[in-house]
Chains A and B, each alone.
Chain A
Amino acid sequence: MKIRTAGLVAAILVSAGVADAPAQGFTPDRTIEFMVHSGPGAGNDVFARSVQGVLEKLKAVPQNIQVLNKTGGGGLVAMSYLAEKKADTHLVAVFTSIWFVNPQIRKQAKITMDDLTPIARLVLEPAVMAVRADSPFKTTKDFLDAAKQNPGKMKQSGGSLASRDNSYRFLLMKNTGADWQFISMKSGGERVAALLGGHVDMMIMEPAEALEQIRAGKVRVLATLMNKRLPSMPKVATLKEQGFDVPEVPQARGFVGPPAMPANVRAYWEGVFTKMYKSSEWQGFLKDNLYEDGFLIGPGLNKFVADYTATMRGILKEAGLKLVR
């Protein structure tokens, strides 16, 4: 059994090109901490606890896992904390897109993703463009044409200026010359309520949210914002298929370790997440949440971190945010 696990890890490492880093030599000997940058109950906290649940069920780690909430500064507190714990082998953190975004727009930030040790990307969160079911807009083009004819009159509910919702708005506005309002709202609940109540015209949703609203006949989806059609909505065309050449803005979640994590510790964690990724429990979690499988480790992940930072940089600049580094 042990040989097989080691073989599996080795196989991944070979494919990742770091075959000389052995997985042996590190086993956790005390409680493991999963750090998240938000309070209990927020999306990434629930994500960390779900991963915790799956790993415990699989008995993939020999020690208990505890979720550690380090809130504040939109992730900056958590990033600093992780950077301070340089030699800690029992601490890993959930990264989300704001770990890439906030260090570029907040001068208070001292740490970027480049300082830390990415371990595994686990999920990609797809997005769709939705309107109310009784909306006059049947296609993306209908909405964009209306927004072009009445500049500043159409409204979209979303999160902050640095959110993906707003990134897509800027990319679409640049591509088509349309212009509409972005109404920031604090919680996801308020955003959906504003759409269902007809206070805004459009919203960028996650498929898990949208599917049930579609089934109840409350919402219509105009486009998939990913490069490929979603398995859960095979009939909904992508933006590209509808003639809008807008790049995909991925939203990723995964795990990252403290700076300069030893190769054998990183390999250990890669092994743990690989084992989880192959389990039916994890595949079930992805399916229930309608997440896209985003499993990526090794050099592929390093490349993703670099590319994603560059992509977000371009979009944020486009969106009119001041970059600080």
Chain B
Amino acid sequence: MEVLAGLAQGFGIALEPMNLFWCFVGVFFGTVVGVLPGLGPSATVALLLPLTLQMNPTAGIIMMSGIYYGAKYGGSTTSILLNVPGESSSVVTCLDGFEMARKGRAGPALGIAAISSFIAGTVGVVLLMLIAPPIAEFALRFGPPEYFALMALGLSMVVLLAGRSMIKALLSMFAGLWLATIGIDLFTDIARYTFDRIELMDGVNFVVVAIGTFAVGEVLANLGARSSGQNFTVPKGLRNLMPNWQDMKDCRFAFFNGSLVGFFVGVLPGAGSTIASFVSYGIEKAVSRHPERFGTGAVEGVAAPEAANNSETGGALVPLLTLGIPGSGTTAILLAALILWGLKPGPLLIQDHPQMFWGLVASMYIGNLMLLVLNLPLVPVFAQILRLPGYVLYPVILGVSIVGVYSVDQRLMDVWLVGGFGLLGYAMRRLDYPSAPLILGLVLGDLMENAVRQSLMMSNGDISILYSRPLAATMLLFTAAILAGPMFRQFNSWRLKATEQEA
């Protein structure tokens, strides 16, 4: 009852013309920066921070959150069309999204991305509204050993991302783990693999590696194939540009899975939407009745990660609003904004400023609807990009990639690196090494190393801390089950072969 009253009050606030206007401004800018690779929501929110100081805090947080979740919608566009991940959280979307585009299904891919973003974004808000305080308390039970187990669970997804060869997938993942060690070590302050270059002291930017191996590698591979002219087919007619009923049915579980995984991972400070998208993709493939279709353009492979990275926003707002703890780069800026507005973020924020909280929640329902209405009509427009012949499209991809990586930190070094990782991506393609495990290793490596070292410092070197706590142990058991899966299947196929021969 309390929730309904709060929500009614919230809609009253969010539907005020000025707040509605700022909500639209936020989601619109969010979509734009999401589409542009490199420029992320945290940079945009920071740029607008001085502007919001003149605004009323409720309007300010409505707009800034709009940018945050709006960017997640736009992020999938370049992943699907150009194989250029627009945000770090949409790398996984490339895997099946770009394959769908290649098969002439760019429209349905973009459509399902928008629909699943809408569903998950809304589920994220519902969960934020209903269970924020208890779930935040639960998240606090995650200490370093639990993070280690979560990262191990994430890394185990490698067996699901592997193509034909498990060994090649593992090699690719270990290369990613090694890349994650580059930079100044947090615990000893020692530089690792930096070759005395200041640019490498903060490590290799994840976006650089992802854009290099995915987009630049793809372009190089196509140049090698000497294919000229039209590469993609774009079917005519609005009907073929939207997901059909079968697509929607195939994605039912993906919507659900992505929404929940995204929200729960989002609640954990420091975990992030990239991990959420990998985990939900892995779960989707693991439970699928036809896992072999993943990586070749399965519509669920787009729906699950896109759902995850959108409901993550709702999750990430939980520790911020209920505990005053920022869990991600963007929520850290929102925290700073709340302080600048004089709102005193902390555990009592919602109690002290219910109108701000409920106004925000209501505006997120409205904002998600706006995003759906804004994005669906754009699908046929964006899909036309693929009509460009190869000799135009590939230079465009290269240009977008270079501008994208440069815009992250304005460093020329990153442009050289993206070229280098492009060559690596090309070589991996030619030698049939999957590049997704490389990204997985790079994303999780840093977090996992930190977690294991923090845990061992906590226990004075006693390794049992990693598996003696119940939550951590449960996650490690799941990890073991996932890792054992392929071996079991292998054994089963041998057994089947053996029985066939006997028969």
Contacts and interface: CB of A to CB of B under 8 A. Distances in A.
Given A50-B340, A74-B201, A193 B46 contact: no
A138 interface: no
B168 interface: no
Contacts of A72: 198-199, 201-202, 409, 411
Contact of B270 (A77, A186, A285): A186
Interface string B305-346: 000000000000001000111110111110010011010111
A215 B186 CA distance: 32
A41 B332 CA distance: 7
Interface size on A, as a range, is 35 or more
Contacts of A80: 198
B53 interface: yes
Interface in B177-220: 184, 186-189, 191, 196-199, 201-202
B326 A321 contact: no
A283 to B, nearest CB: 13
Contacts of A40: 42-43, 45-47, 333
Contacts of A183: 144, 454, 457-458
Contact of A162 (B141, B189, B329, B332): B189
B347 interface: yes
A71 B202 contact: yes
B49 interface: yes
A270 interface: no
Contact of A77 (B47, B142, B198, B319): B198
B348 interface: yes
Contacts of A194: 143-144
A213 B191 CA distance: 36
B410 interface: yes
Contacts of A280: none
Given A56-B50, A69-B410, A212-B345, A187 B326 contact: yes
A231 interface: no
A192 B320 CA distance: 12
B347 A218 contact: yes
Contacts of A175: none
Contacts of A45: 46
Interface in B90-146: 139-144
Contacts of B140: 193, 196-198
Given A39-B43, A288-B339, A212 B347 contact: yes
B312 to A, nearest CB: 15
Contacts of A106: 191, 201
B189 A161 contact: yes
A108 B143 contact: no
A53 interface: yes
Contacts of B345: 212
B296 interface: no
A74 B185 CA distance: 12
Interface string A40-78: 111101100110110010000000000001111110110
Interface of A: 39-43, 45-46, 49-50, 52-53, 56, 69-74, 76-77, 80, 105-108, 152-153, 155, 160-162, 181-190, 192-194, 196-200, 208-209, 211-213, 215-216, 218, 284-285, 288-289, 321
26 contacts: A39-B329, A41-B43, A42-B332, A46-B336, A50-B50, A50-B53, A56-B50, A72-B411, A73-B198, A74-B201, A76-B198, A108-B191, A108-B198, A160-B186, A181-B457, A183-B454, A185-B450, A186-B186, A187-B326, A193-B319, A197-B142, A209-B324, A215-B348, A218-B347, A288-B342, A321-B189
Interface of B: 42-43, 45-47, 49-50, 53, 139-144, 184, 186-189, 191, 196-199, 201-202, 269-270, 319, 323-327, 329-333, 336, 339-340, 342, 344-349, 409-411, 450, 454, 457-458, 460
Given A73-B202, A212-B348, A212-B349, 4 more contacts: A50-B53, A72-B409, A196-B325, A216-B348
